[in-house]
Structure 1
């Protein structure tokens, strides 16, 4: 489960970066991806799991 959450975080950040530079017109979706990635990272920190 730990590796799956890490994979999701990486995919969300990569998707955000690709969307930010390749498709600037869809800014809302890009920021939603970033927020989801940050929430996942905070969840891992709060629950005490290692990154």
Structure 2
């Protein structure tokens, strides 16, 4: 998912440099959304990993 966010961020930068502001804004919005979904999922799985490890040790 982080790879897709980076892909859309690169598309946004290239489109912005070429003057396609609508496409750049859309790609940037998609990249931002995917990045935040990635961060949320990363935190959720990190917490789940700590909880499961704690229960296995006890």
List gaps (5 residues or longer) in structure 1: none
When the two structures are aligned, how many residues end up with a matched partner? 43
TM-score relative to the length of structure 2: 0.64
Which has the larger helix fraction?
2
For structure 2, list consecutive stretches of 5 or more residues without a partner in the other structure.
44-58
Question: Max radius of gyration: which structure?
Answer: 2
RMSD: 1.4
Runs ≥4 residues deviating over 2 A: none
